[in-house]
Amino acid sequence: MVLGSYSDKDFDALYPLKMRKLSGTHWTPVGIAMKAISFFENSGCNSVLDLGSGVGKFCLIAADSSSIRISGIEQRENLVQLARKIAVNHQLSNLEFIHGDLISLDLSDFDGFYFFNSFEENINSKDSLDRQSTLSSIQHENYINALREKFDALPIKTRIVTYCGEASEIPESYRLVQQSHKGRLRFWEKQI
């Protein structure tokens, strides 16, 4: 059975209990991942990056449902290892997980990006992922500004999907082309 047809409950059962419990707050619902990947496919994207890929839920569903090259970058090594293990178990060859800080990555290899409010942990301690989380509004602002600059430097037609958050990391050079889920899921395209 393809991962995109799993219920969230069945998909989350791939993870240890501790990670399963975090799903409602931190991991993308299956239906949202399917909508995002269909936007990237219809836009002709070749290579999509999940910025802050967590346990890999978006990436795993996307890679199993499409032939697009899918990558995820995640700062927590234990989450990267978990995501890689599930990718191997499902023989997903169009998928890679990178361990690192997303702000240090060169984004020019990608023409589509998925961003599920990854910097929220810097300003909101609710359901924190682990004890590594420390609150800092300055850090939050620095991250948002740095990502906005990186997005702004990318070529015309670059696509971004944002899920939740204020989308303040999206520069004015992008146009909102579509939205759903009461504006929580937004689809962007670089215009200039």
Ligand X SMILES: C[S@@+](CC[C@H](N)C(=O)[O-])C[C@H]1O[C@@H](n2cnc3c(N)ncnc32)[C@H](O)[C@@H]1O
Give residues in contact with ligand X (CB under 6 A): 26-28, 50, 52-54, 57-58, 73-76, 79, 101-103, 116-119, 121, 129
Distance of closest approach, residue 72 Cβ to ligand X, in angstroms: 7
Token pair for 3: 């991962």
Q: What angle do CA 118, 124, 126 make, to 5 degrees?
A: 105
Q: Choose between 40 and 119: whose C-beta lies nearer to ligand X.
A: 119
Chain position whose Cβ is nearest to ligand X = 52
Distance of closest approach, residue 162 Cβ to ligand X, in angstroms: 11
Q: Choose between 93 and 104: whose C-beta lies nearer to ligand X.
A: 104
Rounded distance between C-alpha atoms, residue 149 and residue 132, angstroms:
26
Q: Choose between 19 and 154: whose C-beta lies nearer to ligand X.
A: 19
Residues in CB range of 136: below 8 A, 6 or more apart: 122, 123
Residue 107 sits at φ, ψ, to 5 deg, of -90, 0
Distance of closest approach, residue 101 Cβ to ligand X, in angstroms: 4
- CB count within 10 Å of CB 166 equals 10
Distance of closest approach, residue 182 Cβ to ligand X, in angstroms: 18
Q: Choose between 58 and 174: whose C-beta lies nearer to ligand X.
A: 58
Token pair for 181: 């889920």
